[in-house]
Amino acid sequence: MSEPYLIDRQPLKEQPMKEQPWKRYFRLGLNHHLLFPLTFESVSEHRRTLPEVLAYPEFEIIDMFVPEDGATAEEETAQVLSSGKIPVYNCPLMNSSRRNPNSPDAEIRQETIDEVTQHLRRALGIGAEKAVIASGPNPGAALIVEQTGYFVDYVAALCEAVPELMLMIEPFDRSIGKNLLVGSTHEAAEVVRRVQEKGYPNIGLLLDMGHVPLMNETFAQAVSDSKSYIQHVHLGSCVMSNPGSPLYGDMHPPWGYEFYDIHFFGTNVDLFQLDPRVTAICGKPHYAPANLGFLDKSFDGMILLGLHAKASTPGALLNHNYEHDISLMSVNGVVVGEIGLEALMAGEAGVPLVMVTADSEGAKETEALLPGTVTVSVKQSLDDAAAACYPPSKTAGLLQAGARACVEATTRLKPYTIAGPIELDMQFKPGALLEKLKLRLANDFVDTNRMILKGDSVLAAWNQYLIAKSD
């Protein structure tokens, strides 16, 4: 029901300012079932992964649920109680035909109350003091007022059943995500107010940053609408502007980590070694308006891994521009290679290039074109066919230091853009690719080996080339 990272608003003991001052204001946690989404469906996966999350020393809070009673509940309860972590219980969504918190059918509402109360009893068992609940399906504009009344009664019944727990309503969207009844922070706050007026003080709100944009709100507006009731905050993200993305909508994209493995047919990443927070897009899908290279403004930055300097760079290892047939590329007169062109296309999506890992000459090219971008040189170029390579024990440290520097870089670097209209000027060496392009893009050639592709954006111009060169 939330993104993997969260903060919790609870009374805190005095802590010395020299020990991470932010701890005076909130506790940092992790959401177990969103870090390991298979746990929604698999009890065995839930039991396998919970100890790992409980062992993370960086986090004090764990958002979680217990999938069933019996041996599973006994095992996980013991693990949580002995971990020292503070649990916040996340009740699963109730949005099926027989489970609906705002159903006009009183029998269905009662069945839903009974099932959620079971979860809340499990919450008490693991030592939770807070639990997350949500509304049911959006019934349509004509029925929202009526069914909000049913939902208020439902929440009041839960508050009465477990007065020991602070219940927190999590608002969702009514658009491209979960499409639930309570579809704005203001409406959720109004439900809390009405339940409290019934005499139940143990009700508040959870604010999820990943849901806020889906509800067409700003975070400042959401906080303003609910500040009196906020008990818990989820730090998350969403993909809104790219319907072609597999993570479009309320899909809980890994926060800041999506890996696009495109080089040599997208078979370079060992998926067994990936951190569970990383999603890898593997293969060579065409850049197109439907996917935009899978980038949008939800990303804080782009990292380019294993890049080479542009073609004809003196002393640069394997210098080239995508294909070795391309001898020169420029965008509106600015000479670029792979690094520059990828930075421009990311910039058009509103994403800055924050780090490049490359050989020494690729790093120099980045620094000259985009000063301030973090660069990591993992080998020293000797010429176009040789390099002094560093051992993994050294490059691992360099890459880790660069990754840490990216956190700061995302706050100061701006997307790299060139004002349109765009002219992508490309020159080619003699060969099969040149002859193919002469047949397919004859009108765009201005010389025997040179063509100029025009478009409203760099991506649009580049996509013309990608389509033409494909078999």
CATH numbers and ranges of domains, the chain: 5-235 (3.20.20.150), 300-469 (3.40.50.10780)
| Whole-number pLDDT of residue 65 | 97
pLDDT of 4 higher than 60 = no
Dump pLDDT digits (tens) for 198-217: 999 999 999 998 899 999 99
Q: What is the DSSP string of 361-404?
A: HHHHHHHHHSTT-EEEEEEEEEETTEEEEPPHHHHHHHHHHHHH
For residues 270 and 259, is the Cβ–Cβ distance under 8 A?
Answer: no
Kindly write down the DSSP assignment for every residue of 61-113, as one continuous string: EEEE----STHHHHHHHHHHHHH--EEEEEPPP--BTTB-TT-S-HHHHHHHH
Q: In which residue are the tokens 């070694």 written?
A: 273
Q: Interior CA angle at 115 toward 111 and 116, to 5°? A: 115
Question: 235-251 pLDDT, tens per residue?
Answer: 888 888 777 776 788 88
Residues 431-456, mean pLDDT to the nearest whole number: 96
- Within 8 A by CB and 6+ apart from 456, the residues are 420, 421, 422
> What pLDDT does 443 receive?
97
pLDDT (0 to 100) of residue 241: 72
Residues 37-41, mean pLDDT to the nearest whole number: 88
**What is the structure's pLDDT at 83?**
97
Residue 15: how many CB atoms within 10 A of its CB? 12
- The CA distance from 112 to 107, in Å, is 9
- Residue that the structure tokens 């494909």 belong to: 470
Mean pLDDT computed over 302-315: 93
According to the model, what pLDDT value does residue 17 have? 41
CB atoms within 10 A of CB 160: 12
Determine the pLDDT at residue 6: 61
Mean pLDDT of 54-65: 93
pLDDT tier for residue 16 given thresholds of 50, 70 and 90: very low
Residue 453, pLDDT score? 97
List the structure tokens of 94.
């109730």
Strand extents, DSSP E, 283-352: 302-307, 326-331, 334-335
Please tell me the least confidently modeled range out of 242-256, 311-325, 421-435, 448-462.
242-256
Q: How far apart are CA 30 and CA 236, in angstroms?
A: 11
Alpha-carbon distance of 253 to 411, in angstroms, equals 20
Output the average pLDDT for the chain. Answer: 89
In this prediction, residue 240 carries a pLDDT of: 81
DSSP 305: E
Structure tokens at 342: 């990828």
Structure tokens belonging to residue 96? 């099926």
Name the residue among 100, 43, 29, 98 with its Cα closest to residue 75. 43
Confidence of residue 295 (pLDDT cuts 50, 70, 90): confident
* C-beta separation of 266 from 284 below 8 A: yes
C-alpha distance from residue 11 to each of 25, 155, 231 (Å): 9, 25, 11
Q: Please, which residues have CB within 8 angstroms of residue 84's CB and are 6 or more apart in sequence? A: none
Q: Lowest-confidence range among 133-137, 235-239, 266-270, 434-438? A: 266-270
* pLDDT confidence of residue 255: 56
DSSP one-letter string for 144-179: HHHHHHHHHHHHHHHHHH-TTSEEEE----SSSS--
Tokens of 5: 């990272």
Residues with Cβ within 8 Å of 399's Cβ and at least 6 positions away in sequence, in order, are 357, 376, 378
pLDDT at 165 exceeding the cut of 70:
yes
The pLDDT value given to residue 243: 77
Distance CA 62, CA 88 (A): 6
pLDDT in tens, 277-291: 677 777 765 555 555
- pTM summary value: 0.60
The confidence score (pLDDT) of residue 164 equals 96
In 108-148, the DSSP E strands lie at: 130-133
Given its phi and psi angles, is residue 280 left (phi above 0), alpha (psi -120 to 50 degrees) or beta?
beta
Which of these, 97, 254, 96, 243, lies nearest to 176 by C-alpha position? 243
Q: Outline where 17-70 has alpha helix (H).
A: 32-35, 43-54
With vertex at residue 148, the alpha carbon angle to CA 132 and CA 205, rounded to the nearest 5 degrees, is 30
Output phi, psi for 21, to 5 deg: -55, -30
CA distance 4 to 49: 14
* Residue range 340-348: mean pLDDT, rounded: 95
pLDDT tens column, 92-105: 999 999 999 999 99
Contact 327, 320 (CB under 8 A): no
Q: Is the pLDDT of residue 448 over 50?
A: yes
Q: What does the pLDDT average to over 328-344?
A: 97
- With a pLDDT cut of 70, the percent of the chain lying above it is 90
